Structures are given as C-alpha cells and as structure tokens.
Amino acid sequence: MTIEGARERRVRTGGIELCVAELGDPGRPTVVLVHGYPDSKEVWSEVAARLADRFHVVLYDVRGHGRSTAPRPLRGGFTLAKLTDDFLAVVDAVSPDRPVHLVGHDWGSVQSWEFVTVGRTKGRIASFTSMSGPSLDHFGHWINARVKRPTPRRVGQLLGQGAKSWYVYLLHTPVLPELAWRGPLGKRWPKMLERAEKVPGGGYPTASLPSDAAHGAWLYRDNVRARLRRPRPDAYAHAPVQLITPLRDAFLSERLYDDLDQWVPRLTRRILPAKHWIPRSRPDQVAAWIGDFITAVEGGRPQPTATGRHADRFGGRLVLVTGAGSGIGRATAFAFAEAGARVVAVDRDAEAAARTAERSRLIGAPEAWAETADVADEHAMEKLAERIHRAYGVLDVLVNNAGIGLSGSFFATSTDDWRRILDVNLWGVIHGCRLFGARMAERGQGGHIVNIASAAAYQPSRALPAYSTSKAAVLMLSECLRAELASQSIGVTAICPGFVNTAITSTARFAGVDAAEERRRQKSAARLYGLRNYPPGKVASAVLDAVAHNKAVVPVTPEARGAHLLSRFLPGALRRIARVEPRL
C-alpha cells in the first residue's frame, strides 16, 4: 500500500532498509511523522494530505514494519538507540541542511521523546509534537515519585495507569503475542478499531499488520522494563514541544503528563475529547495544530498562548455563534476567542456581527469572521451553511443562541406572534442543528452543539406561554439530539439561563397591549434586569464549561438552578408560583 501522491525512497541504516515516503515541496519546512504500534506509516495518510500543501511531509515505516525490513535477530534490534540511528539516517537523507519538525503518535511518540532529549540529535529537530506516547524516562520518574511519596491521589494514579497498561504485560510474554497477531487478532483488528475507536479504513491498516504487530512487540521487550527501572536523569527536551492529549485514551492516563513542565522548557499543551487513534479519527484538528505550531516555531516567535478558560481545548477550533451581535451571543463569541478558537459571528445586524468579529480578533481569536443571516429564514441559513463549509470548514462547536422574547397571556398572543417566536426560537435552532450538525456527523470527528434555551423551559408562567413553549421545545430537542448523536461523539447541551442583563428585555414583544404600553413594559423589564445585573459573560463561561465537560442541561443563575431543582422534586410548587401575575 502506498500513500497517494507520495514519492518513495529506500534509506539504508544498520543493516536494514527503511521505506520513506515524501509529499509536498522539499523546499518548504520538513515535517517527519513517526507511527506507533501496531501501525505503519499509512496511519498518517489523512494528516499528511492536509499538511502537504504547506510543508515537506516525510513518513517512514519503522524498522520491521510496513515496507521496511526487520533486523535479524529481532531480539535487541528495536532498542531506542537503534531507532535513533534510523531517525538520523532518514533526516540526513530528506533534509540534510535544515532541522526537521518531528511528530509522533503512540510508539512513534515514545521513540521521538528519545530523539528530542538525547545529545546527538541536538540541532536536527526544530520542534516536536507528541500524541499518546510518553517518554519512558519521564514515565519512570513519574512512577518513582509516586512510589517514594505516596498519597491516596498518587496511589490512585498509579493503579489507574497500571490497569490501562494491561497490554504491555501481555506483550512481554514470549511467543503468544506473535501467535495472536498472525492468527485471529490480526484478522479482527480492523473491525475492532472501527467499532471501539470509530477509525475509518481508507487503506489503513495495511495488509502487513500481522507481521508489523509481531515484530513491534520487541519495541516493548527491548526498552520498557530497562528504561523504567533506570530512567535517564537528564532527559530534557532541546526543542519546543507541543503535547496533544486525547482525553478518552484507553491506554494512557492524562495524569502521566502532570510533571512534564520540568522536562520541557518550552511546552504547549492541547487536549482533545477523543480516543487513542487521533491521527485517523481527528485528522483535521491534529493537522491544524501541527501546522500552527510549526508556523510559530519557523517564524521565530513563541506559540500563541490563549489566556481564556479551556484554552488548551479550544485553541484553533472552529466555533459559530448565532445572535452574536449582542448579549449572551456576543459574550460567548468573546469567551471562545479568548480561548484561542476561530470564531464565526452570525447576526441579523451586519454591523453588530462585524464588531463582534473585530473584537474577537483583538482578544485572542487567531481568525474571526462576521456573517449575516436571519436564523428563522431556512433558505438564508442554507446559504450561510454553504458559505461556512466552503470557506472555513466543518464546525467543531455550534452555539444556537439567537432568540427573541414575547410576553402576554395565551389568548392575547396572536397566531402571528406564535409563528414569529417559534420561527426564531425553535426553527432557528432546528435549522442550525440540521445544517451544521449534519456536516459534523458526516465528518466523523465529533463536535458539540450548544442550544441556548431558558429556565422558562421548565418553569411555567401565565405571562410567558409562547416564550416558555419555544424554549421547552429547544430543551427537549437538545435531549433527543444528544441521544441520537452520542454514538458519533457529538455532544449536545441545553443552556438554561434565568434573568440575564441583555438587550432582549428592551426588544421583547408584549402581546395584547398598545405601542405606548409595550414601550413602558420594555423599559420596566430592562430596568428590573439591570438591577438584577447578572452579566452575560457568566453565561458564556457556563457554555465553555458545558462543552469542555459534555454536560447535558446547564441551568445558569441561582434562580434557574433553584427552579430546576423544584421542577424535579417539587413540581407542584412551581405550578403554584406560575399562577402569580407578574407586575411590570
């Protein structure tokens, strides 16, 4: 199996031949991608294709894997020292005059930590991006620190990682791993990966998997026990490092990297709500982070560091917020911008959307754009989705925030009133979920949808029948969609604020009254909300927390949380409160 468009060459080193593939312009910065176990270089094919238009991309089959030859004998042929020899032979062949940017996944990352911390490679590596593979030296020191100074938390970390490392013990047993991989395990592995990790095929794994996995068992046998027992005391990185940590990794705890700052003077952390095989399951995000990191290093400047909440998670992610011209939408756009996300601000008011986008760029968004659309207009939303997907790509986070207010008794609320509030508050959410959520599902790399509902969704009121109905529908839609999309790693959250000081009060409709009385009530409502003075920025913080932790329903403000508790445990009390006629 060859990677489409790649140029292949053979590199001889230490009595073996390595199969090396190259894409892109050799005059550009060189990126070397090192695969893990039990993979071959084809695990990188999706990432490599996304990087090839900006960089000179190099992939090679580690000795004993893919189309590279295996050492004879196998025992002792896979030591970190020999893997370092292989790496130097490859970079001398593909980039003799310039240092390379190194990227490793799984065992590719384990061996790359060796490359970036030993003296003989100093000056040959410009940067290193690590995924799902710790340094064995750092791991050894991590274990020793917890054995020598045990606390309940540290003991729990040791036991947790010990359980995740079950496969390491099995790979140290003689003969059995080879028999399993050359037998039933090798045949079933592609389907197992597809089911457990949602990893698509597309030429991966290759037909060489059984022999790759059998040979690769010696990576563990030749290195793990010896290095964990006697970790090097000087394993300091001599190049900038970007650490990408998948939070749902079945084999490695994120706690393994707690002490990494002491070994890496220039460390950038990224986290991803994904499983182990992110080069296959999340190639868009992985390639974007690699490209941004390399570009920063090549430019001689530090990697841009966002300062907002959850910046390690949202940096570089593509986020769209409707109703972003003011209030909660504007604050949410700013919160994602401060976290380093790329922001699309959508609003009916073109000038307001432009102001939000401009401010987003100033406070941390690497890119921000303004788009104009009425969420109630299906055709306008379809055109918006087409523009977004063509110009910026598939969203990582969608925030359906746009909404309007309407107060008045049921019989005072006209059919047109009902139609307008449902068109905006409910159909606007439906259009967003349908048009942008479908692309998330098609991409197969997860994502998150946030629908701004309201405490009125579960708190009945004689004064808000239409508004409460629209928000209750949004809440139930969110719950149903969350159940449907869970299998595709797409989270759905309903945010339910209470009284928040935004412009919705001054623009809300009041059914059944004349224009003068409506203006009076708008001013009175705005004054009351102003006295309450709960800022939209706190709702925005709740949105980021909800996405980061994949929460289902999030009441915001004390009264919203109180009403939510009553709706669950004392619904009769809420019904009695609903009978009270509000005074404005």
Count of beta carbons in the 10 Å neighbourhood of residue 445 = 24
Looking at residue 305, its pLDDT comes to 59
pLDDT tens string 238-285? 999 999 999 889 999 999 999 999 999 999 999 888 899 999 998 988
Looking at residue 3, its pLDDT comes to 82
pLDDT tens string 393-415? 899 999 999 999 899 899 999 99
Among 373, 485, 384, CA closest to 435:
384
Distance CA 544, CA 501 (A): 19
Stretch 479-499: mean pLDDT: 95
Looking at residue 323, its pLDDT comes to 96
pLDDT tens string 285-324? 899 899 989 999 998 765 555 667 788 889 888 999 999 9
Looking at residue 197, its pLDDT comes to 87
- Per the model's pLDDT, the better-predicted residue between 424 and 5 turns out to be 424
Residue 352's identity, in one-letter code, is A
Stretch 160-189: mean pLDDT: 95
- CB-CB contact of 219 with 131 (8 Å): no
Element (H, E) at 100: strand 100-105
Stretch 96-119: mean pLDDT: 98
Query: Which residues share a beta bridge with 270?
Result: 244
Query: 312: number of CA atoms within 13 Å, CB side?
Result: 13
Q: Which of 37, 257, 467, 529 is catalytic?
A: 467
Looking at residue 302, its pLDDT comes to 54
Catalytic: 467?
yes
pTM: 0.80
Q: Could you tell me how many helices (H) and strands (E) the chain has, helices first?
A: 23, 17
- Residue 61, Ramachandran bin (φ over 0: left; ψ between -120 and 50: alpha; else beta): beta
pLDDT of 127 over the 60 cut: yes
Distance CA 195, CA 192 (A): 5
Looking at residue 339, its pLDDT comes to 94
pLDDT of 1 over the 70 cut: no
Helix pair 536-549, 327-338: axis angle to 10 deg: 50
Strands (E), 111-262: 125-131, 241-246
Q: What Rg do the C-alpha atoms of the chain give, in angstroms?
A: 27
Domains (range + CATH), the chain: 7-298 (3.40.50.1820), 315-498+539-574 (3.40.50.720)
pLDDT of 37 over the 70 cut: yes
Looking at residue 474, its pLDDT comes to 98
Looking at residue 309, its pLDDT comes to 75
How much is the mean pLDDT over the chain?
Answer: 93
Looking at residue 584, its pLDDT comes to 58
Query: Residue 445: pLDDT band by 50, 70, 90 thresholds?
Result: confident
Looking at residue 516, its pLDDT comes to 84
DSSP track, 392-456:
T-S-SEEEE-----EES-TTTS-HHHHHHHIIIIIIHHHHHHHHHHHHHHHHTS-EEEEEE--GG
Is 130 in a helix, a strand, or coil?
Answer: strand
